[in-house]
Structure 1
Amino acid sequence: MDERISSLQSENRTYPPTPAFAAAANVDESAFDRARELGHVAFWEEQARRLAWDRQWHTAHEWSPATEAADGTLSVPAAGWFLGGRLNVAVNCVDRHVDAGDGERVALHFEGEPGDRRSITYAELQRQVSRAANALESLGIVAGDRVVVYLPVIPETIIITLAIARIGAVHSLVFGGFSAEALRFRVEDTGAKLLVTTDGQFRRGSAVPVKGIADDAVDGNPAVETVLVVKRTGDLTPEIPWTDGRDVWWHEVVDTASPEHAAQAFDAEHPLFIIYTSGTTGKPKGLVHTSGGYLTQTSWTHWAMFDSKPGDVYWCTADLAWVTAHTYEIYGPLSNGVTQVIYEGTPNTPTPTRHFEIIERYGVTTYYTAPTLIRTLMSWFPDGVPARFDLRSIRLLGTVGEAINPEAWVWFHENIGGGTAPIVDTWWQSETGAAIVAPLPGVTTLKPGSATRSLPGLSAKVVDGDGVEVPRGGGGFLVIDQTWPAMARTVWGNPERYRDAYWSRFASHGYFLAGDGAAYDDDGYIWLLGRIDDVINVSGHRLSTIEIESALVSHPGIAEAAVVGVPDATTGQAIAAFVIPSRNRPTERSTAIEDLDIDGWRGLGAELTDELRAHVAVAIGPIAKPRTVVVVPDLPKTRSGKIMRRLLVEAVSGDVAGDVTSLQDDSVLPRISAILRD
């Protein structure tokens, strides 16, 4: 069955590493040679030795793929890495740096949304994590227990996460903006004994009560024995519901605990955390990640991709509940002894320059963020970063979450990176645990919009519907064709769903199906084409949403775009484009873009439709011209920066349903629906 995806757009701009960067880089071309020479298992054994192990493993890797029985049923695949090895993940992230004499190095620069700031050294982090570990044990939490963490981006979130890992419990972090219903599902599904939350949170300049949401989520759940509450907003949210005998204050049980804690080691396959997929369709899946393999790949890829060096100040902008932050904001940076920034608030609170201020204040050297934010910054600052901000500390940039449009890549490189900083465009997922496809900044010649190639010791391919690798220039399904240490081991409580979701489609080949479409260019670079479910079939042509969106964003009047397929009686599906105009977009009316009413947005759509259709026809081809162009003030996005295109399809049909709890701003969809209505 040929299910190739048409790849119509080309990108010829290239950015090789500068000689100075390449000469000082942590990793050179020999890493690829080494991985090929050793084989992927022995290569990852070599990287595992970067960590501190209490006991070495006896078996590097075991793998039982999904195989078909005589009755046609598939077995559930099972993987193990570094079996017999024992380590403590938190010790690897904190204690060993203190033991090495780096206790006075700053681990965390925290910036709160209201402007409060704290800097925490590795020695202080060790004391705080030890206090939290002692407090958890005093509350009856033991190895294997599940703890749900419902907190914003504050130091206590990292402290409690590391403390849970330190005692061998299993954490599940939940975005602090989720509803009680979404939180309840995760608490019940994990069977958590403890929920950690706050009295309130700061969101877009306001103090918002949170404890009541947490209470609703655990109401009637006998498994939850304790709710541990961090005082964050205090007198700004005074009416805090309280259940005596269940609720305890952080400052009363953690801050008063002993700062010394004797950590024990756990098996490499001991569960470390459960992270839930966003649930854009169906029930969210709780993916289980274990300790030794996950930390091995997480630590090495962070060190290699971000060229992590002493003295760097690293900032990953993700919310701590997302897998991006688990891997490249908690475990990766801390395992490498990095100084990093964490920021509680939104990018435009109180002004759209907040991120520039933070970069300048702390001397950020590595800035890792989502394409959505980059496109937003483009719309806020079409003429570039205001000259009053000094961003010269930046030496490396990174992107994550979805494919980045080439024009956004170039804007990021020139305006945030000063035209010199390489961009590490990473492809990976909650399921993969750590990066799979990404450039090495001292090795790889970059192309705007491409995550380039698989990292050393890893392998991804683009195949057709029969599992046959497509030729150069062809598109199809992105698969991972060999095992990797950070792979999710199962879906919590439902191993059959793990098999069916990821391994059944290409079981005869042993491929992991990522769920993304991709294409090779003539040099063998991988280009992400969007989720397979988002591919649009127009008159038999399977078109990539990402390519059409990139063409739209390349228009000077457009800051961001989302493309979806909608029913069409003639072509089967037609292309509907939702676009956000640039602030400098000239209009035929005097009203500023940000002040347009519903009729104004419709009118702007009428102005732009023919212009954008013609632009896409030139950039890609007439087959990719949108039938409909809708100009909107914003798009429905998750807090991790992904556009929820499924909601746009439902908005066109007038029937929005399903899980919308992961939306960053729940007011966006009603505004889009109002613009669509006659």
Structure 2
Amino acid sequence: MEPVWYPDPKEAQNTRLYRFMEALGFQDYEAFYRYSVEEAEDFYRQFLAHLGIPWRRPYERVVEGSFPLPRFFVGGRLNLADAVFRHPEDRLALLHETEDGQVRALTYGELRAEVARVAAGLRALGVSRGERVGLWMPMGLEAATLLLATSWLGAIAIPIFSGYAAEAAAIRLKDAEARLLAVQDGFLRRGRRVELLPEARKALALSGTERLLVVRRLGLPLEGNEADYAHLGGEALPPEEMESMDPFMLIYTSGTTGRPKGTVHYHAGFPLKAALDMALLFDLREEDRLFWFTDLGWMMGPWAILGGLILGGTVFLYDGAPDYPGPERLWRMVEAHRLTHLGLSPTLVRALIPFGEAPIKAHDLSSLRVLGSTGEPWNLDPYLWFFRTVGEERRPIVNYSGGTEISGGILGNVLLRPIKPMGFNTAVPGMKAAILDEVGRPVKGQVGELAVLAPWPGMTKGFWRDEARYLDTYFAKVPGVWVHGDFALLDEEGHYFILGRSDDTLKVAGKRVGPAEVETAALNHPALKEAAAIGVPHPVKGEAIVLFAVLKPGIAPNPELAEAVAEKVAEALGRPLKPERVLFVPDLPKTRNAKVMRRVVRAAYLGQDPGDLSALENPEAVEAIRRAARGG
């Protein structure tokens, strides 16, 4: 496949990446990348000096130890707030537009004052260093101020997806033993009120979390000892001085089995990795305005806020639907706020295509320099539509792939090399990536496992109170190597392509959820005996959930029951994760030790070769799944 975008030599020389390379004596990107992974200690020292990160106590070494549990910036002390609040106070930091068109803004000086007020208020509510605080709210000013205020105190934030129902939120709060939950009482979505406060009260009861702090966007009345965000206050205090590896955030992500896993991120990790990727891949500068259509509960929410602010740019936040009240909404905001960077998932792009080009052509997008994409693999036609219609065949799409555990990207695009459709023209500087075959050897030109061969600042410190599960997830396949769980290919020209997950994790419109979570929610329905959830291709969402269910004896399948089971999942996990189909079967294909073979279920549903079935105890279950898929 040939590239569709080529860098303009003059513009390339004006990028942050080129200027940084030039300062280090590099003219050639490939030589610079090799330096970034072969001399990682010097690379990270030089980059953080380039950013001007203000350490309270300088670090002694960038990396100490190796996989699986290295340490970073050993001996260094800082608070991530120090890295944010070092820019001119009159520079614009945050812009927020609500779905009903209200616009608010904070300069860096105003943001610092608000974060200090909120931090004092959290301390007055009993939150102290090391305690966990749930943040359940859409993207808005308060989401950013609470994330920063929690870090200011040395406490640990738990971002929660605003589309979750009470049970999904409670699982995360309970696992983290959260002291307090901060929630926005609600927001508008397609003109309708979505009330989060009642769900938050249920989550508190289910999780045992002590206290509720409410941002009253809809003005819902408070009960009991619920605290009002607007009235927070207390004795002012400076940001806590933290060790480099002290946690500031737990982001929960789902695996293929068991409960959601809390990835632990630290003050000198996630924020610095976000800033590095944003600077060297996306070329975000101080005068730029970044908008990534995401949620605080997904990695890209904190990534956009922290990376954008550390680099001194302006971060634009929006908490509504992308096509309400009409399909021009996104493009009107780009024009009105002179946005320079726009990040959309492939799912969202596919959903916008049916509206045609007219809503885009009706607006002035001349401020846009860079397009971004992450969350899932592309299909060719939507990619080319985004590049040609929005990018006008001149704006690069920075495809970006990594994950919550990475703090950003393993693979990406730099603006110094040509870009192939759907691909990545480099591993991210500092990431020693490779594609491994079935015996762990690096390969080119064939599909293999995406892996990282050396530690990097930003990698999760592990899973919250579950080291064994962390080691099993990433280091069981190839000892001493981080195996990420993606099938990928590296072509002869050095371009990477992601081909999908190598495990069972589902990605619905870019949102990761473990099949076990879906199955557990479905089994809340009393008619179900067993369930298996799989992800199948979807033209808009990228992947949709199909649930196979085994009914208890004496219960007959019917469409109403299928809908009721799907609603149980929506109630527990949120409507975005509602199964597209619920199909009833007599049994699920299992191994002799009773492990459900989701790989086989998915292949049978899609009419593909299910592979070796010798381990199955009940191979007849495969044909039953095929019949159910056909409607038989």
Q: Distance in 1 between matches of 2:10 and 2:547?
A: 48
Query: Which residue number corresponds to residue 45 of structure 1?
Result: 45
Choose the corresponding residue for 1:253, options 232, 241, 256.
Answer: 232
Q: 1:242 to 1:664 in 2, by over 3 A?
A: same
CA displacement at 1:45 relative to structure 2? 2.2
Residue of 95, 98, 118 corresponding to 1:109: 95
TM-score, normalised relative to structure 2:
0.80
- Are positions 1:513 and 2:483 aligned together? yes
Deviation for aligned residue 1:91: 2.1
- Give SS of 1:300's match: helix
Structure 1's 287 and 579: CA in aligned 2 closer, same or farther, altered over 3 A? closer
Matches of residues 11-30 of structure 1 in structure 2 within 5 Å? 11-28=1-18, 30=26
User: How far apart, CA to CA, are the structure 2 residues paired with 1:293 and 1:209?
Assistant: 34
Instruction: Identify the match of residue 31 of structure 2 among 30, 33, 48.
Output: 33
Aligned partner of 2:203 in structure 1 is 217
- Deviation, structure 1 residue 650: 3.9
Shift of 1:309: 1.8
One-letter amino acid of the counterpart of residue 206, structure 1? R
CA contact 1:143–1:167 (8 Å) conserved in 2: yes
Mapping for residues 516-665 of structure 1, pairs under 5 Å: 516-533=486-503, 580=539, 635=541, 643-645=542-544, 647-648=545-546, 650=548, 662=573, 665=576
Aligned to 1:333: 308
Change (3 A) 1:579 1:181: closer
Aligned to 1:285: 261
1:271 and 2:271 aligned: no
Task: Assess, with a 3 A threshold, how the Cα gap between structure 1 residues 663 and 182 changes in structure 2: closer, same or farther.
Answer: closer
Q: Is the 8 A contact 1:57 1:84 kept in 2?
A: yes
Write the deviation string for residues 458-503 of structure 1: whole angstroms up to 9, x where unpaired: 1111111110122x32111111111110100110010100000111
CA contact (8 A) 2:165 2:574 kept: no
Q: In the alignment, is residue 175 of structure 1 matched against residue 161 of structure 2? A: yes
Shift of 1:407: 2.3
In the alignment, the residues of structure 2 paired with residue 397 and residue 578 of structure 1 have an alpha-carbon distance, to the nearest angstrom, of 25
Provide the rounded CA distance (Å) in 2 between the counterparts of 1:32 and 1:290: 30
Query: What is the alpha-carbon distance in structure 2 between the residues aligned to residue 502 and residue 334 of structure 1?
Result: 31
Amino acid in structure 2 at the alignment position of 1:157: A
Q: Is the 8 A contact 1:403 1:450 kept in 2?
A: no
The 8 Å contact of residues 279 and 659 in structure 1, kept in 2 or not, is answered as: no
Q: Distance in 1 between matches of 2:536 and 2:501?
A: 16
Describe the shift of the 1:356–1:220 C-alpha distance in structure 2 as closer, same or farther (beyond 3 A): closer
Question: How far apart are residue 677 of structure 1 and its match?
Answer: 5.0
2:119 to 133, 136, 141: 133
Structure 1 residue 338, shift from structure 2 partner: 0.6
**Residue of structure 2 in register with 1:8 after alignment:** none
SS of match in other structure, 1:474: coil
Amino acid paired to 1:665 = P
The letter of the residue matching 2:276 is W
Alignment of 1:345-494 (within 5 A): 345-381=320-356, 383=357, 385-441=359-415, 443-470=416-443, 472-494=444-466
User: Does 2:461 align with 1:502?
Assistant: no
* 1:280–1:388 distance in 2 versus 1, CA, 3 Å: farther
Equivalent residue for 1:539? none
- SS of the equivalent of 1:514 reads strand
Change (3 A) 1:414 1:463: same
- Aligned partners of 2:170 and 2:207 also within 8 Å: no
SS in 2 for 1:171: strand
Alignment CA distance shift 1:664-1:399 (3 Å): farther
Deviations 1:630-656 (A, max 9, x none): xxxx64xxxxxxx444x2364999987
Q: Which residue of 1 aligns with 2:72?
A: 81
Q: Per-residue deviation at 1:34?
A: 4.2
CA distance in 1, matches of 2:114, 2:583: 46
CA distance in 1, matches of 2:420, 2:127: 49
Residue aligning to 2:621: none
Deviation at 1:225, TM superposition (A): 2.9
Distance 2:108 2:500 in 1: 40
Percent of pairs with identical residues: 30
Q: Is the 2:475–2:483 Cα contact (8 Å) retained in structure 1?
A: yes
Q: Deviations over 1:413-470 (max 9, x none)?
A: 21112221111111111111122211111x1110011022212221111111110122
Distance 2:246 2:537 in 1: 45
More deviation in 262-271 or 656-665?
656-665
The CA distance in 1 between the partners of 2:131 and 2:366, in whole Å, is 46
Distance 1:264 1:576, change over 3 A: closer
Q: Report if the CA contact (8 A) 1:384-1:415 is conserved.
A: no
Deviates more, 1:141-150 or 1:293-302: 293-302
TM-score with structure 1 length normalisation? 0.74
Specify whether residues 55 and 577 from structure 1 end up closer, same or farther in structure 2 by C-alpha distance, changes over 3 A only. Answer: closer
Amino acid paired to 1:422: P
Structure 2 counterpart of 1:669:
580
Q: Which amino acid aligns with 2:218?
A: T
Q: Does 1:57 align with 2:59?
A: yes
Q: What is the alpha-carbon distance in structure 2 between the residues aligned to residue 332 and residue 243 of structure 1? A: 38
- Whether 1:242 and 2:223 are equivalent positions in the alignment is yes
Q: How many residues align?
A: 538
- For the residues of structure 1 that align with 2:119 and 2:535, how far apart are their CA atoms? 52
Change (3 A) 1:54 1:207: same
Question: 1:392/1:672 Cα in 2 relative to 1: closer, same or farther (>3 Å)?
Answer: farther
- What is the match of residue 297 of structure 1? 273
- 319 and 266 in structure 1: CA distance in 2 versus 1, 3 angstrom threshold: same
User: Residues 438, 467 of structure 1: CA spacing in aligned structure 2 closer, same or farther, 3 A cutoff?
Assistant: same
Runs of at least 5 residues in structure 2 that lack an aligned partner in the other structure: 510-533, 552-556, 585-627
Question: Which amino acid in the other structure matches residue 333 of structure 2?
Answer: I
Match in the other structure for 1:593? none
Paired amino acid for 2:410: I
- The gaps in structure 1 that reach 5 residues or longer are 1-10, 66-76, 536-545, 547-574, 581-633, 636-642
Q: 1:577 to 1:505 in 2, by over 3 A?
A: closer
Distance 1:318 1:662, change over 3 A: farther
Q: C-alpha displacement at 1:114, in angstroms?
A: 1.4
Structure 1 residue 221: Cα displacement: 4.8
Does structure 2 retain, via aligned residues, the 8 Å contact 1:405–1:448?
Answer: no
Distance across 2 between alignment mates of 1:269 and 1:482: 18
The structural deviation recorded for 1:209 is 2.0
Contact 1:32 1:457 in 2 (8 A): no
Q: Deviations over 1:344-400 (max 9, x none)?
A: 11112221221011111101111112111111111222x464432111111111111
| RMSD value, Cα | 2.9
Please give the alpha-carbon distance, in whole angstroms, between the structure 1 residues aligned to 2:137 and 2:12. 40
8 Å Cα contact 2:256-2:503 kept in structure 1: no
For 1:322, the aligned partner's letter is W
